[in-house]
Structure 1
Amino acid sequence: MTVYVDDAVHPWRDQRWAHLMADTLPELHAMAAQLGIPRRAFQNKRSGVHYDVPAPLRERAIALGARPISRHTDRILLKSVIANARAQYSANG
């Protein structure tokens, strides 16, 4: 089981943001908790369950064991991770 963090490529509020995703929801929530991200920041969306993390927090996630993945060089893996995140979506929240 693995937690993943993609490239910090999404600009918002003068920062670059990444997506924190995982093979399972318990792993995802556990990593977010280790990073100090409140549960209310969890995004349960049809596009995939995830947490948004700013670039500096992305580096901390990697230091804690998250696997960095790149939208540029890990396309097949990233598509698989995103498909898994979509499969974990719950319309009930």
Structure 2
Amino acid sequence: MDGNNSATAGDAMSVYVDSAIHALRGRLMCHMFSPDLDALHAMARRIGIEQRWFQDPLTMAVSWPHYDLDQTRRAVAVELGAVICDRYQTVAMAAIIQGRPDKLRRIRALADPGRAFTPARHVPEWLAEQGFAQAWDW
């Protein structure tokens, strides 16, 4: 990976952390997420996060599945291969996770086409099924 933490096509990653940093109980927090819940939970275990902290839209009032991370665990996740996403990439991944191609089309119109980003391995197939080109530039 390069200094911008972008992945090449051959290095497709499946776990992501966002660049949104929010204060929560005196700590700076962000989100860790993936369309692949097994990969997400595996990364959580690797960085020392308990699965009971998983934010599950099936059981909680949240819009997408994720973990909240403090900055220390975010740094470890990135060292272990998590991909840093900007706000458009994060919202695009949330739309993919939610199965919302309509939302994804609107986001693509707003996103910076110059950003290097590789989605999870199964995302190109899902995008093709939804009518998007396989070589969709993020």
TM over 0.5, shorter chain? yes
> Deviations 1:51-78 (Å, cap 9, x if unpaired)?
000011101100000001122xxx1x22
2:73 matched to which residue of 1? Answer: 57
Structure whose CA Rg is larger: 2
Q: Please report how far the alpha carbon of residue 8 of structure 1 lies from its aligned counterpart in structure 2 after TM superposition.
A: 4.6
1:26 matched to which residue of 2? Answer: 38
Which range moved further: 78-87 or 40-49? 78-87
* Superposition RMSD in Å: 1.4
Q: Which amino acid aligns with 1:82?
A: A
Structure 1: gaps of 5 or more residues: 88-93
Q: Which amino acid aligns with 1:69?
A: C
Q: Counterparts in 2 of 1:1-93, with a 5 A limit? A: 1-45=13-57, 46-71=62-87, 75=88, 77-87=89-99
Q: Please report how far the alpha carbon of residue 13 of structure 1 lies from its aligned counterpart in structure 2 after TM superposition.
A: 1.0
Q: Which consecutive segments of 4 or more residues in structure 1 shift more than 2 A?
A: 84-87
- The share of aligned pairs that are identical, in percent, is 37
Larger relative strand fraction: 1
Structure 2: gaps of 5 or more residues: 1-12, 100-138
> Highest relative contact order (Cα 8 Å, sep 6+), 1 or 2?
1
- SS of the aligned residue for 2:41 comes to helix
Tell me the distance in 2 between the aligned counterparts of 1:40 and 1:84. Answer: 24
